Amino acid sequence: MNYLSFVFMGLLYFPKMLKGKKIDVIIVFAPSPITQVIPAILLKWLKRAHLAVWVQDLWPESLSATGFVQKNWMLKLVGYMVRGIYKCCDTLLLQSHAFFEPTKKYAPAEKMVYFPNSMDATGSSIVDQTIPAALRAELESNFSVVFAGNVGTAQSVESIVEAASILKNEPGLKIFIVGSGSMLSWVAEQKAIHHLDNLVLPGRFSMSAMPEIFQRSAALLVALKDEEIFSYTVPSKIQAYLAAGRPIIGALRGEGARVISEAGAGLVCAPESGQALAETILTMKKCSSTDREKMGSSGINYFNENYDMDLQSDRLIDILTARLNRR
């Protein structure tokens, strides 16, 4: 109902909001669901504008991988819908190189352009006293591994809990899951059942608090399920982790793992394996502080070369200008 209400309200109100205004380009930032593009298609026709969709998620593959849709006939219907939506788009901005091959099933290659996620690193400076004193003290007094963001089915939180169980007797090491999501209550139950005092669930914080949490962490953790669809994507938190200048532990395959390794910004292990994750966390802990600082510095350098907001904004202008001129 939430997805459908956005489509309905968009079709009803967006044309009124833009009445009398000349529009050159319409850009849709498109994580799930892809249906959010539908109101933009109407605007494209009304305004005779160029429609660019920044594809963050592969449909219908992501529906199947997360288990929300499992019946083949439904997935085929979603596939037809995706093909129709992409047909109405002029440019598909793909956040990962690996997105090209699966997207070719639904759209011609000439519509596709690689355009990764970016972030404004100027907002990454530390503002002290933005997190509770108790949390600050706990982060600083331990080798703190922080997972931040959505705590959902795609994030393989089961392997994080398993790793915490394996490491529960490791002195001075704690894993923090900062955020919220559909799996958070399950994680809390497992923490209580297995008496995982080394697993900390501080809750959700504003974006302004994240730089302080990151900087007081020993390492930052990103994890995904071991599904082919997730090997195509680069989770946006990787850019945030790189910009933070802290070493990264990646329990994932594919593009996300490639970025971490190529940047020299951390260690990578197999996804959905609590044992592999626990061993990698211990390996990171045994690294010298100098080695971990080098990983963090390499991450910042890689971010500045590939994901800086100013750099990416200029490139987006170039891409859209070239496409408008070609039209």
**Global pTM exceeds 0.95:** no
Asked if the model's pLDDT at residue 127 lies above 70, the reply is: no
Considering 148-157, 262-271, 317-326, the range whose residues carry the highest mean pLDDT is 262-271
The confidence score (pLDDT) of residue 274 equals 97
pLDDT tens, position by position, 254-286: 999 999 999 999 999 999 999 999 999 999 999
Q: Which CATH number fits the domain 2-118+308-326, given the four candidates 3.90.1580.10, 3.40.50.2000, 2.60.260.20, 3.30.420.40?
A: 3.40.50.2000
Provide CB contacts within 8 A for 160, sequence distance 6+: 147, 175, 177, 187, 221, 223, 251, 274, 277
Instruction: State the chain's mean pLDDT as an integer.
Output: 92
Looking at the chain, which residues constitute the CATH 3.40.50.2000 domain(s)? Answer: 2-118+308-326, 121-303
**Helical H runs in the chain?**
2-17, 38-47, 61-66, 72-87, 100-103, 133-140, 157-166, 184-193, 210-215, 228-231, 236-244, 254-263, 274-286, 289-306, 309-326
In order, the DSSP letters of 8-24 are HHHHHHHHHHTTT---S
Domain 121-303 has CATH 3.40.50.2000: yes
- Residue 112 amino acid letter: M
Which token pair is 52? 């660019």
Q: In this predicted model, what pLDDT tens digit does every residue of 233-250 receive, in sequence order?
A: 888 899 999 999 999 999
Per-residue tokens: 62 = 């992501």
Cα–Cα distance between 225 and 231 in angstroms, integer? Answer: 9
> By percentage, how much of the chain surpasses pLDDT 70?
95
Contact yes or no for 307/117 (Cβ under 8 A): yes
